[in-house]
Amino acid sequence: MLTQDEMIGLQAEKHELVKLSQFDSKEEFILHLIHEAAYNYAAMTSIGKNVLDLGCNTGYGSNIINKKCKSISGVDVSENAITFALREFSNNGIDFKVVNGKNLPFHDNQFDMITSFQVIEHIVDCSNFIAELKRVLSPNGFVIFTTPNSCIRLDPGMKPWNTFHVKEYTANEIERLLSEFFVNVKVLGLFATEEITTIEKNRVFSARNNCRLRNSGVKQEMPLFQKIDSVMPYRIKIFLKKIHKSIVTNKQVVELQKKYTWRDLCYSDKNLDQSLDLMVICSNEEINYVVDEITK
């Protein structure tokens, strides 16, 4: 297992930048909707608040919240991500910074609200991570986390198939973890239309099945199309992929973009094990008003 410093270095160097457009598949577009929904629902709770977006990647989510909050700072361990964010969104008054992953360059009690989306599953030392997060959070402030729902992604005891993830959580597991640090913790699940749900669950089920095969030690027969791909000249391969993307993939993505927006997804505290993603609201003060705003 990687140390905290090694994992931070891996994330900083190799973690992919979030795409904002030109999605290569319908699965990529749906995954973007899932992440975009979290930021839009969080933005509803940010009015008049000083916000920290911890793990902001390319800053697209910081920009969503920026439309409603008092001020916002976005930080990430990836210099490439922050460079992109500064180029795209700094003119909107957002303060973007590269951080070392262990210490935050802010004063104690500086923020009323912190968002940390799709980050905690990457963390080796959660105690240090949350302690630093709490240091910069005001006494009456709250934190919103999102993280993948391991119930739909992993078999019991299975290690994450995403190489950047240290641990993926069930709703019960993430609630127990964060209850060690906050007085009030509420877990919500993300739900969507039938088509969105099917696309996302098929994506993660396929990855899980591939992981099962690797773990079984059974030698896998290479599919015919992969055999052909392995011997095909590079230029022909690229040409065929462009044709496939223009004819099939682009049409699928465009059709989905016409049909769905983040508003076709919603949060609920029911049937959490079947949810597409988890959101956790945490504070040492009352959080019902935050939960009500997100789930209304």
Would you kindly state where each structural domain of the chain is located, as residue ranges?
A: 4-196+263-295
Q: Which CATH class is domain 4-196+263-295?
A: alpha beta
Residue 99: CB partners within 8 Å, gap ≥ 6? Answer: 75, 76, 77, 105
What pLDDT sits at residue 251?
84
Q: What is the pLDDT confidence band of residue 9, given thresholds at 50, 70 and 90?
A: confident
What pLDDT sits at residue 24?
84
CA distances in angstroms from 242 to 78, 118, 189, 239, 246, listed in the order given: 30, 31, 37, 5, 6
Q: What is the pLDDT confidence band of residue 246, given thresholds at 50, 70 and 90?
A: low
pTM for the full model? Answer: 0.89
Assigned token pair, 199? 């696309």
d(CA 121, CA 232) in angstroms, rounded, equals: 38
Which residue(s) pair with 69 in the sheet? Answer: 47
Assigned token pair, 158? 């299975």
The answer to whether 88 and 57 have CB atoms below 8 angstroms apart is: no
